[in-house]
Amino acid sequence: MSETSKPTGIDLQLDEATAQGHYANLAIISHSPTEFVLDFAAVMPGVSKPRIKSRIVLGPEHAKRLLLSLQENVTRYESAVGRIDLHGPHSTPPQSEEAATLGFLPGEA
């Protein structure tokens, strides 16, 4: 089965296996001078070593576009549904550029 969507005027095909998606509650982001790597995994009780379910590699410009698009969509979501409250060590916005890197794992991709 294949579905077609046009979010930006581009014909995209989505096969059934890809449409199922992968659940992730952990994202590890690393970068090199030329690319950003986003690894997604699910950490579950009783699983000693979670496996990465998906890896996305982006150029710096596309990484920034993703950041801006995600921020816009979170803002729209919160306008429609309500504020998303965060719990844990990253529950408050970073106060400096240095603090903004917390939770990201810099390094070679």
Mean pLDDT of all residues belonging to the chain: 83
Mean pLDDT of 36-44: 96
User: H or E element: which one contains 20?
Assistant: helix 16-20
14: pLDDT strictly greater than 60: yes
How many whole angstroms separate alpha carbon 77 and alpha carbon 69? 12
Who wins on pLDDT, 103 or 71? 71
Rg (CA), the chain: 16
105 touches 29 (CB < 8 A):
yes
83: pLDDT strictly greater than 90: yes
45: pLDDT strictly greater than 70: yes
Ramachandran assignment for 57, one of left (phi > 0), alpha (psi -120 to 50 degrees), beta (any other)? beta
* pTM, to two decimals: 0.69
Q: Where are the domains of the chain?
A: 23-101
What are the two backbone dihedrals, phi and then psi, of residue 100, each rounded to the nearest 5 degrees?
-65, -15
5: pLDDT strictly greater than 50: no
